[in-house]
Amino acid sequence: MPRLSVFDFLKDNNYRPYGLDQVRHIAYQLCYAVKFLHDNKLTHTDLKPENILFVESDYNLTYDPKKKQDIRTVMKTDIQLIDFGSATFDHEHHSTIVSTRHYRAPEVILELGWEQPCDVWSIGCIMFELYLGITLFQTHDNREHLAMMERILGPIPTQHQFNRMGRKTRTKYFYHGKLDWDEKSSAGRYVRENCKPLRSYQTKSDEDHRLLFDLISKMLEYEPAQRVTLTESLRHPFFDKIPAHQRLGDSAVGDLRERSHSLSR
């Protein structure tokens, strides 16, 4: 059987979302792999579900009588990250635009320059997509993309670099410190009808689902300097339930609570 990407598997499964534990394990490995790049002064710049391959794509098949279709459940969620063709060292030239559209961070769209945090934004978008089976920002237009961000995440900050950029950039997406966007246009209606605040996408109210959206919201922080790092992400309580046999070198990423506890004995 050919090895499928997590996107191909999702598509072949009629965009049925992955289970929460599957999302947890895939996201954990992705954070760990990209953290390795960041630790070595690299930014991947093109993180997306198509670039995450299952090591094995075998699946179990069950039948959903409600939807009258077969459901595939991948048997092993071990993954590999691929496509390092756009990976960029910190000291290398940083092209203005990076990332595939749907996973592109606001600082890239606003042409403010980018560093490792743009990868973290992409991972937040990927986690959402695996959990719900839909793309968070389904658009091909910069202005509409920014409007979707505001609808889902709240207003883009009008302080610091964003405000300066909003006034000085050639892109002119801002007017008097606010996004220049017509909510009454057909595009405005589309965004209003198809996008809603991030937390309202949560399908269950239990703690595991709350923790997932807490981590995603920290990854989708507008200001790159305030966005959670991958070291911090790996310590987030959402990953506490990763079983011991799936953990990857905790001594390197640091489950500090456990280590400090053992040292204090």
- Tokens coding 62: 């069950």
Whether 46 sits among the annotated catalytic residues: the reply is: yes
- Tokens coding 263: 């040292």
For the chain, the first-to-last Cα distance in angstroms comes to 49
Under 8 Å between Cβ of 40 and 69: no
Helices (H), 64-206: 106-109, 117-132, 142-153, 160-168, 186-194
Residue 179 neighbours by CB distance under 10 Å: 16
Under 8 Å between Cβ of 44 and 87: yes
Strand partners, 81: 52
Compute φ and ψ for 17, nearest 5 degrees. Answer: -65, 160
Residue among 46, 64, 70, 180 flagged as catalytic: 46
Under 8 Å between Cβ of 1 and 66: no
The residues carrying an active-site annotation are: 46
